[in-house]
Amino acid sequence: MKTVWITGAGRGIGAACARRFAAEGWQVALGWCTQKEKTEALAAELNAAAPHTALAVHTDVTDAAGVRAAAAAIEREFGGIGCLVNNAGIAKQQLFTDVTEADWDGMFAVNCKGMYRIAQAVLPGMLHRKSGSIVNISSIWGVVGASCEVPYSAAKGAVITFTQALAKELGPSGIRVNCVAPGVIETDMMAAFSAEDKALLADETPLCRIGRPEDVAAAVVFLAGDDASFITGQTLGVDGGFGR
């Protein structure tokens, strides 16, 4: 049975990915940093449906030693990690002139350096087995940029080029690296938006609706699996045409 490690798995896109992977027969390591109760409840839900399917594991992507310890715990429980989904991330809206160095560094520490740390933790095993898949979660704003979200847009843009470069480096070892760039998705990050704001965003989307976490999860699981065996270095937009 294949094992996937999903960071930020307690809610939103991460939780939807966990459910989809479990439904496809994967063992799922649910990485959490602040959402312990939600993540443990999700693990219990998945294990009730199929025993020994899910493991909630503390994963603070800003803590290098903690990341290595989490990887070791997953391997003890499930064996080798066949897929990594770099989903953990933070976002903040503010004028660029109000962005402090701490704001900038914090955005990149989670959205970029955290991805680097997690990938470094799983790659020795993947390289040894000469197989594996990494799926990084970027954003439509990493493709086209967003006003009042310059640090977030820059960090998510870096996710895309990280994906492209690492795919070229790891391809000869049989490891694929791809990226998903969600558009406007109904998650906790949308909590501050009013119903009117959401209606406007839906109206600006060619498919005339806001996306669901499950829409993103379907793309992630596809890229992770054998049906995408000749796909690497790609960024798949799951955005309903928004911003194109």
* Strands lying side by side in the sheet with 54-58: 54-58, 27-32, 3-6, 83-86, 132-137, 175-182, 235-238
Q: Is 152 a catalytic residue?
A: yes
Catalytic residue among 152, 162, 222, 242: 152
User: To 10 degrees, the CA torsion angle through 213, 218, 177, 57?
Assistant: 60
Token code pair at residue 127: 């390289």
CA–CA distance, 101 with 97 (Å, rounded to integer): 11
Q: Which stretches of the chain are DSSP H helices?
A: 12-23, 36-49, 64-78, 101-108, 114-129, 140-144, 150-170, 195-204, 213-224
Contact 29, 8 (CB under 8 A): no
3-state secondary structure of 217: helix
Q: Count the Cβ atoms, other than its own, within 10 Å of residue 148.
A: 13
Could you tell me which of 181, 179, 54, 38 has the C-alpha nearest to residue 119?
Answer: 179
Task: Catalogue the active-site residues.
Answer: 152
